[in-house]
Amino acid sequence: MFIGHWAPAFAAAAVSKNAPKLGTLFIAAQLVDWGFFLFAIIGVEKMRIEPGITAMNPLDLYHMPYTHSLVGTLGWALLMLVVLLLMRRQFVTASLAALVVVSHWLTDLLVHRPDLTIAGGEARYGFGLWNYPAAAIALELGITLAAFLWYISRTKGPVMPPWMLLGFLLLIQAINWFGPQPTEAGLPLYGMALLSFGLAAWIAKWVGTTRRHVDDRGLAGGGPRR
């Protein structure tokens, strides 16, 4: 899954006026992938290209116990929780971001071939929707658009910025699906992934500065929006 990971970020921003800002939630949604590609650069976690390993992409994610095990993901979520508690001292805010981190493993479980673990052991899990392109595409677009529209309905502000963000997400997803497939794992591939995550988070941060939750009366009352 790619842009579908950001669906929980939109949903968290929609559900509560105390949610972290959208840029923070976008980082939370892909935090374990940030970790994976950084670890891959230094050889701590590993992947390789195996054409035909799934119908939709050739990624053999064969060693990622620290980011894509369930226990590893919970560890990243705990890190996010602690960091935001230290920064904002609001449990609801920190908890929403932590839940968005955890959502990454659950959404990956739907589409990955069996390459996810509970704690880095031999047993591997994944429902394999990447082998059923129509279902995987419908799921990814469906949850992303549904969460985005919910976010739009629960926030107010200029119309154009969030639609520009959605357009960017759809563009990078189209490249991911229909562009040339990678032929080898290495720094160019890892760097492009990190660049796409960074650009998405940067645009989301900007969008978040243009919108406020419909339940947020902070500006009217003179208080800052969190």
120-173 confidence digits (pLDDT tens): 989 999 999 999 999 999 999 999 999 999 999 999 999 999 999 999 999 999
Mean of the pLDDT values across residues 78-96?
A: 94
What's the burial of 118, exposed, middle or buried (CB within 10 Å: 0-12/13-18/19+)? middle
Q: Global pTM?
A: 0.93
Determine the pLDDT at residue 88: 83
pLDDT at 218: 58
- Return the pLDDT at 133: 97
Nearest to 204 by CA among 175, 172, 176: 172
- The token duo for 118 is 């509970």
- At residue 105's C-alpha, the angle toward residues 99 and 111, to 5°, is 135
DSSP β-bridge partners for residue 125: 116
pLDDT attached to residue 214: 93
Write out pLDDT tens, residues 169-211: 999 999 999 999 999 999 999 999 999 999 999 999 999 999 9
pLDDT value for 39:
98
Backbone angles phi, psi at 84, to 5 degrees: -70, -35
| Domain segments of the chain as ranges | 3-210
Contact 74, 86 (CB under 8 A): no
Taking the CA atoms of 134, 180, 126 and 151 in sequence, report the sign of the dihedral they define.
negative
Q: How far apart are CA 110 and CA 121, in angstroms?
A: 19
Grade residue 89 by pLDDT with cuts at 50, 70 and 90.
confident
Report the alpha-carbon distance of residue 57 to residue 113 in Å, rounded: 11
Where residue 222 falls among pLDDT bands split at 50, 70, 90?
Answer: very low
Mean pLDDT of all residues in 97-115? 98
